[in-house]
Structure 1
Amino acid sequence: MAAQQDLSVFVRHGEGGVAGMELAVEGIRCAGCMHAIENGLSKDAAILKARVNLALKRVTVEWREGALRPEAVIERLGALGFKAYPFLPSAERDSVTVEERRLLRYLAVAGFAAMNIMLLSVSVWSGANGDISPVTRDFFHWLSALIALPTAAYAGRPFFESALRALRAGAVNMDVPITLGIVLALGMSVVETANHSDHAYFDGAVMLIFFLLIGRYLDQMMRRRTRDLAGNLAALKAETATRLMPDGTTVTLPIAAIAPGDLVLVQPGERVCVDGIVETGHSEIDRSLVTGETDPAPIGAGAQVHAGTMNLTGALGVRVVAAGAGTLLDEIERLMSQAVESRSRYVRLSDRAARLYAPLVHATALATLVGWIAFGLAWQEALIIAITVLIITCPCALGLAIPAVQVVTASALFRRQVMLKEGDALERLAEADVVVFDKTGTLTLPEPDLLNVETIDASSLAAAGALAAASRHPLAQAISRAAGLPAPLPGAQERRGLGLSALVDGIEMRLGSPAFCEAQALAERVSTEHPTASLIAWRHGDRAIVFAVGQKLRPEAQACVEALARLGLAPMILSGDRDSAVAAVARELGITQWRSGLRPDEKLHVLDDLAAQGRKVLMVGDGLNDAPALAKAHVSISPISATHLAQAAADIVFLGDSLAPVAETIAIARKARTLMMENLWFAVLYNAVAVPIAVAGFATPLVAAAAMSGSSLVVTLNALRAARQPAAPLAQAGS
């Protein structure tokens, strides 16, 4: 009796009572397979969505919680003729390696057999003028059959198995006509040999398999490279965490057993295993995953840390906010997966075209056979031409034309810390001709920062930072961050409405309003230099400082705006902030079109006006009030620091503090659109040229196999160009 499977651990539980699972599926070859799987699964009323990724050979299935057992999805795929299992990165790498080795074995057998049969065929051809007796000729033909038939049965398995799976499921994929062509060529050769004919095509059939296997093997390698380019975040995920118990002991537990509110220990040299807040310890963190900044950042009590970042120097006690599911790393991985699964309108177009392939190519081959016989050609020669038609027509180029570009482009964007949420976001982004920015949290950093840090001596900043660390006020936290997040000053007391105070070396130290710190005159001088900043003063005895705290521009904001202008996009600012603050940012960035004090509905009116003028608006925003505008715009981008509602409304999300990804993403999107169109046109032109040549009898099955395999490789190799950096607009800005 077979053991009962329990796949509930692989189920992803989403919002709104939707459950889902990602499956690795064997035998997905072409758009016909995609159509068979998606149609077959969608017939089950319990399944809400089934999405196939051809390049990654994965299927994502969603259903209502409780409406379906996850095991039933795999059973349903089995009934459709596809073996499936829960996707695991390590298992995928193993299966890819096994498949490549398997294809290499088949290729070696087919190549060795083809060489031997060709030697026998050469002997027959050289004796065609009568130097070889009919008995010897028949012997060489039967000897060729003895080599060719077992070779085809073994080396042709990738095509035969795939075709049988499709036929059992009542579908037709690209391997059905290939299998039909091979079987017809071998069957005709056996019949011709039995009838003592001069012609047999064992050499052609085996060479056909050999060339098809070369194409399949190279295609497998290209797909693996494409998958590798998509990035693998699994290595950043911790499998276990060390929980700190109330009695001071530690226990190592699976990450699934860690709950929000737990206190975990992160040792130096370990990756942070959870999202949380540091409670004890000081260290340096490599936050390049989140911010893109490779320099280690000092971190201490009160600082936020994310799963996947690296703890470098000191032990940290971290209070868990999220572990496993719900972490920033989990969200990044989800967005990355969504990016390569989403369908664009170009993908839907190529899918429809590829689905027409099977009935069309079979009808064309049959018409070719009947037509040539009607014109008086021998049935053997007419059948060879029909076999060539079956083989040369290639839906793979159409099926791969767009998904391959999407996967490689998603990877290129991921390396630049950009995540796509919608399949057609790249196409819409490539069409954008005007960029509308929100100001607060978008052009500026979301957290206030110290604006006059260069005028403050290090010892005073350290002292003020230690006192500021005792407060959770945003302005005090800005000073604490600028000082490197020192430990809070012992004995610090909060004076309601005034600030903080503590006794240091017998003298009271204060941090708060200029009046509380008796620094009004100094505050007036600082205010003239930073008119839009908030002022907070510090005094210890005779020493006094006034800090200007405000929102700094995001790194590379100036270069980004200049790059957008060179790309032909007019920048604008639409902000709800006060006039003076928006004017200062617009002036600093050189943006001439800006409006301030706008409500969310007023931003929508501006976007409507731009759309009425025929403009394609890219909206870049991060706040709750930006969500309607992000949803309304032609295409939208949000930073990862955005509110959840803004992220949900945006088509694209970028990580880190730098604004550089906005301009870079547009340049990459335009290049991706060009590659998509190139691939589509190549696939269409290939079939438009190749099929008439085959129907006219100017190609052989051998040539057809080489051409069919080559067309798939061409579109895949062209897609890989998306991984190369296009003209770097920011680099040009600095030149």
Structure 2
Amino acid sequence: MSCCSPALALAENEERATGADLRGEELKHAGRLGVDGTATYVFSVPAVHCGACIAAIEDALNPLAGVASARVNLTLRRLTVVLSPEGAPSGTTPFRLVETLQRLGYPATPVDLGDLEQLAREKESGKLLLALGIAGFAAANVMLLSVSVWSGADEATRDLFHLISALIAVPAVAISGQVFFRSAFAALGAGRLNMDVPISLALLLSLGLSLYESLSGGSEAYFDAAVTLTFFLLVGRYLDQLMRERARSAVLGIARLAAKGATRIVDGDLVVVPIDEVTPGMHLRVPAGERMPVDARVIAGASYLDRSLVTGESEPVSATAGMRVEAGVLNLTGALDVEAISGAKDSFLAEMTAMMEAAEQGRGAYVRIADRMARLYAPAVHCLAAAAFLGWLVATGGDWYQAVTVAIAVLIVTCPCALGLAVPVVHVVGASRLFQAGILMKDGSALERLAEIDAVLFDKTGTLTTGTPRLSRTDVLSGTENAAARALAARSHHPASRAIRSGLGAGVEPELEAVREIAGSGVEALVDGRRARLGRPGWVAEIAAADGPRGDEGLGHGIEENRRRGEKGSVAFAFEGAPISTFSLDEAVREGAVPALATLRDAGLSVELLSGDGEAPVRRLAGMLGIERAACRQSPADKIARIHALQGEGHQVLMVGDGLNDAPSLAAGNVSMAPASACDAGRLAADFVFTRESLCAVPFAVDVARRAKTLVKTNFALAILYNAVAVPLAMAGLVTPLVAAIAMSASSIVVVANSLRLARAKRRGGPLAGDVPGRKTVAATAAETAPEGKPLELPA
């Protein structure tokens, strides 16, 4: 909900007093009050475009009293400011923030945290493309005229072509160069430098020198260098913008799935309410063809759901009473009555959106290195250009023309575009590639941390397995017993009963009388006048026959056999006075678990299993999956202790878990992952969330992270190598402004092209989505993987 804090009231009073154009209502909706008393404000800052801009804004806002943090998102061009509870008394208000940004040369507009559609209106690709077209047209024509001059045109023809080039180049650079000029002038007006200052200086000096030569009848002019530099700079800026738009489109794509309102059921009537007014406990109706507005639980109705947003599977799923449905899931065939279990801003869809935004927000080690280098860029470039100018002025005995030409070449050739793009483009492409594979990244620095891991710890239930019981083995039942067991299972809400009913298949079921479900025991009913029970073996044995082929001896043997085999448990069925039958239940192994773990081991990572389950099921699963180290009956404290022990040995740990008890260990790991089916605490604690069923998302994410690390290092090497070669050549006077423009732009294009290789990252370790025909239980998979005649054992 919007924040109604004292800071907001103060902002509105100041607005009325100063007559500011920015409305207090906009500022009011830009804030959100946190449970700890902090207030978060988000602003659109379209003038931000480089590391120096980020540094200028954050350095100006973070020292302000009451500002807990100020973080600029370069990809989305958004500023997020968190005010501490004492922010209002200190005088730091949203109005003051906007006023400070205005003085710095960065006009800011408040953004409603729920209105991500505003991002679409902030796109600048159209303007950049128009500027690029103008610069390209001018460059082509000026270069054509320059070729004629280079070919030996006489003085009259040369002077004419120079003037014609001036008529083309000056307006072209004036229009297309606005991208750089506005940024540079704003920075200078605020008393600081950014990377566009030397770029603008190079453009203006090259145009000024060329005009002087043309009007004075000189033999050389550099209009071609000015327009070519503008063109290639815009090519790099446009490619960078495309990468950022790709990241924005992912966020906007999710945001478009959010409903704008919900249909509430009030005393049998239907009332449409804004989505922000939906609270947990409300009863809603979701017609066919509409998406679930919030996370909800189905109360009544029959329909099929498209849950591809959550699971990646396009196969429709039948909606059943009690089923939990995430926000954004599409209702296909019939109306459903549901009970809201979250608000819109706490829903699964909102969480996905927040994680996609945060993926671009975090700054890891490489990003911080690039930021520091970008801060030093402008002063260093100006010093180098000044040194070149003075040096050549002295060396040539006062030839200012040659000195200015060399200084211009230095200014052009040292443009830090390649360095500025080295990390952000890789992170944008990496986040986009992971998103395509159903993996959400919460923090940009997590990608760097994931690339460094050498150990992976897995939880068992809900992570390596689905956590859902399935029927793996049963005694031979007669047709009557089978039908009666199915009928009893249908009258119970216990997961084991649903597994038995599903495993026994379809058929005609008898009528039941005097049905009663006893908590902790099972279901009892009369079937054609005979008492029957389905449930805990000891409870069922009370009415079963004392002897016979399926009596007490068989029951005891069956239970012990289940324990030896490591199966989840057993359920019994019997008619009164008849032999007892047992059903063995097991968990389904998560899709892709076997190839995923094999791929992680092949990548040189150690794999461990930490589970709170008993010894038998843990040993069985570890042996089946080839996990060499497994620990059972692990408490949350035990898991954290193991993580800290590995970290103490110098290991970088990836923790993969899903339960509430896994949240502390997820936070303790160097980096963590959780499935989308995890509890809220688990998803919030994890750095990555994978929405597909397959566990192959884990090795895929590791592979993408390692490739990203390699590409970032390669980009840094390319940028440093370029400057190491180009700068000395330019200062030595061996590079003309035109060659400098082409070389500088080529370096940026090479870095972007190198980064785009990450978009072609292939899946490793098996399918990521639900393209495995069917899940197998631990028992079924173990039967296939175990050597014939040899029981599976936990490796030493």
Instruction: Tell me if both proteins adopt one fold, taking TM over 0.5 as the criterion.
Output: yes
1:618 matches 2:643? no
CA gap 1:309/1:455 in 2 versus in 1, 3 angstroms? farther
Q: Which of 115, 124, 130 matches 1:105?
A: 130
CA gap 1:533/1:693 in 2 versus in 1, 3 angstroms? same
1:177 matches 2:173? no
Map 1:564-575 → 2, pairs under 5 A: 564-575=600-611
Superposition deviation, residue 694 in structure 1: 1.6
Superposition deviation, residue 343 in structure 1: 0.9
**Matched residue, 2:793:** none
Q: Which 10-residue stretch deviates more, 675-684 or 71-80?
A: 71-80
SS at match of 2:69: strand
Matched to 2:702, the amino acid is I
**Matched residue, 1:82:** 106
SS at match of 1:364: helix
**Matched residue, 2:778:** none
**Matched residue, 2:467:** 446
CA gap 1:29/1:391 in 2 versus in 1, 3 angstroms? farther
Map 1:430-469 → 2, pairs under 5 A: 430-452=451-473, 467-468=488-489
The C-alpha deviation readout for 1:57-111, integer Å capped at 9, x for no partner, is 3333322357465454444333221233327543333432xx3332333334344
The C-alpha deviation readout for 1:1-59, integer Å capped at 9, x for no partner, is 64624233343444423332444321222211121122222232232222223333333
SS at match of 1:236: coil
CA gap 1:218/1:467 in 2 versus in 1, 3 angstroms? same
Q: Which 10-residue stretch deviates more, 654-663 or 566-575?
A: 654-663
- C-alpha separation in 2, matches of 1:216 and 1:454: 70
Matched to 1:93, the amino acid is A
Q: Which 10-residue stretch deviates more, 509-518 or 261-270?
A: 509-518
Q: Does structure 1 retain, via aligned residues, the 8 Å contact 2:562–2:570?
A: no
CA gap 1:574/1:516 in 2 versus in 1, 3 angstroms? closer
- C-alpha separation in 1, matches of 2:489 and 2:679: 27
Superposition deviation, residue 192 in structure 1: 3.7
**Matched residue, 2:118:** 91
Superposition deviation, residue 335 in structure 1: 1.6
Superposition deviation, residue 128 in structure 1: 6.0
Q: Which of 345, 365, 383 matches 1:345?
A: 365
CA gap 1:496/1:238 in 2 versus in 1, 3 angstroms? closer
Superposition deviation, residue 404 in structure 1: 1.6
Q: Which of 428, 438, 444 matches 1:407?
A: 428
Q: Does structure 2 retain, via aligned residues, the 8 Å contact 1:229–1:412?
A: no
Matched to 1:530, the amino acid is N
Q: Which of 271, 274, 294 matches 1:274?
A: 294
Aligned residues: 727
Q: Does structure 1 retain, via aligned residues, the 8 Å contact 2:612–2:634?
A: yes
**Matched residue, 1:690:** 726
- C-alpha separation in 1, matches of 2:474 and 2:325: 25
CA gap 1:226/1:324 in 2 versus in 1, 3 angstroms? closer
CA gap 1:622/1:3 in 2 versus in 1, 3 angstroms? closer
1:533 matches 2:568? yes
The C-alpha deviation readout for 1:226-264, integer Å capped at 9, x for no partner, is 544677311221112111221x22122221122211111
Q: Does structure 1 retain, via aligned residues, the 8 Å contact 2:513–2:527?
A: no
Superposition deviation, residue 390 in structure 1: 0.8
Matched to 2:118, the amino acid is A
Q: Which of 617, 620, 623 matches 1:581?
A: 617
1:296 matches 2:320? no
Q: Which of 258, 265, 282 matches 1:237?
A: 258
Q: Does structure 2 retain, via aligned residues, the 8 Å contact 1:241–1:252?
A: yes
Q: Percent identity?
A: 45
Q: Which 10-residue stretch deviates more, 347-356 or 495-504?
A: 495-504
Q: Which of 233, 238, 241 matches 1:212?
A: 233
Matched to 2:179, the amino acid is P
Superposition deviation, residue 345 in structure 1: 0.7
Q: Which of 419, 422, 438 matches 1:398?
A: 419
**Matched residue, 2:629:** 593
Superposition deviation, residue 398 in structure 1: 1.8
SS at match of 2:584: strand
Superposition deviation, residue 579 in structure 1: 1.8
- C-alpha separation in 1, matches of 2:476 and 2:128: 67
The C-alpha deviation readout for 1:653-699, integer Å capped at 9, x for no partner, is 33344322222222222111111111121122122222122212222
Q: Does structure 2 retain, via aligned residues, the 8 Å contact 1:298–1:484?
A: no
Superposition deviation, residue 558 in structure 1: 2.1
- C-alpha separation in 2, matches of 1:69 and 1:478: 57
Superposition deviation, residue 575 in structure 1: 2.7
**Matched residue, 2:174:** 153
Q: Which of 699, 712, 734 matches 1:676?
A: 712
**Matched residue, 1:495:** 518
SS at match of 1:511: strand
Matched to 2:748, the amino acid is S
SS at match of 1:619: strand
Q: Which 10-residue stretch deviates more, 262-271 or 23-32?
A: 23-32
Matched to 1:167, the amino acid is L
Q: Does structure 2 retain, via aligned residues, the 8 Å contact 1:533–1:549?
A: yes
CA gap 1:421/1:144 in 2 versus in 1, 3 angstroms? closer
- C-alpha separation in 2, matches of 1:269 and 1:657: 25
- C-alpha separation in 1, matches of 2:530 and 2:765: 55
1:418 matches 2:439? yes
Q: Which of 593, 599, 606 matches 1:557?
A: 593
Q: Does structure 2 retain, via aligned residues, the 8 Å contact 1:30–1:395?
A: no
Superposition deviation, residue 318 in structure 1: 0.5
Map 1:584-663 → 2, pairs under 5 A: 584-663=620-699
Q: Which of 713, 718, 721 matches 2:754?
A: 718
1:386 matches 2:407? yes
Q: Does structure 1 retain, via aligned residues, the 8 Å contact 2:361–2:443?
A: no
Matched to 2:54, the amino acid is M
TM-score when normalising by structure 1: 0.88
SS at match of 2:117: helix
The C-alpha deviation readout for 1:154-179, integer Å capped at 9, x for no partner, is 23211111111221222212211111
- C-alpha separation in 2, matches of 1:512 and 1:119: 89
Map 1:242-321 → 2, pairs under 5 A: 242-246=263-267, 248-321=268-341
Q: Does structure 2 retain, via aligned residues, the 8 Å contact 1:622–1:647?
A: yes
SS at match of 1:16: coil
CA gap 1:390/1:456 in 2 versus in 1, 3 angstroms? farther
**Matched residue, 1:20:** 40
Matched to 1:423, the amino acid is G
The C-alpha deviation readout for 1:133-185, integer Å capped at 9, x for no partner, is xxx86666555544443333223211111111221222212211111111112
SS at match of 2:128: helix
- C-alpha separation in 1, matches of 2:632 and 2:493: 30
Q: Which 10-residue stretch deviates more, 425-434 or 6-15?
A: 6-15
Q: Does structure 1 retain, via aligned residues, the 8 Å contact 2:298–2:337?
A: yes
1:164 matches 2:185? yes
SS at match of 1:637: strand
- C-alpha separation in 1, matches of 2:683 and 2:438: 15
CA gap 1:310/1:344 in 2 versus in 1, 3 angstroms? same
Q: Does structure 1 retain, via aligned residues, the 8 Å contact 2:461–2:611?
A: yes
Q: Does structure 2 retain, via aligned residues, the 8 Å contact 1:420–1:653?
A: yes
For structure 1, the 5+ residue unaligned runs are: none
Q: Which 10-residue stretch deviates more, 66-75 or 477-486?
A: 477-486
Map 1:464-483 → 2, pairs under 5 A: 467-468=488-489, 471-476=492-497, 478-479=499-500
Q: Does structure 1 retain, via aligned residues, the 8 Å contact 2:441–2:687?
A: yes
Superposition deviation, residue 215 in structure 1: 3.5
Q: Does structure 2 retain, via aligned residues, the 8 Å contact 1:19–1:62?
A: yes
Superposition deviation, residue 592 in structure 1: 2.7
SS at match of 2:346: coil
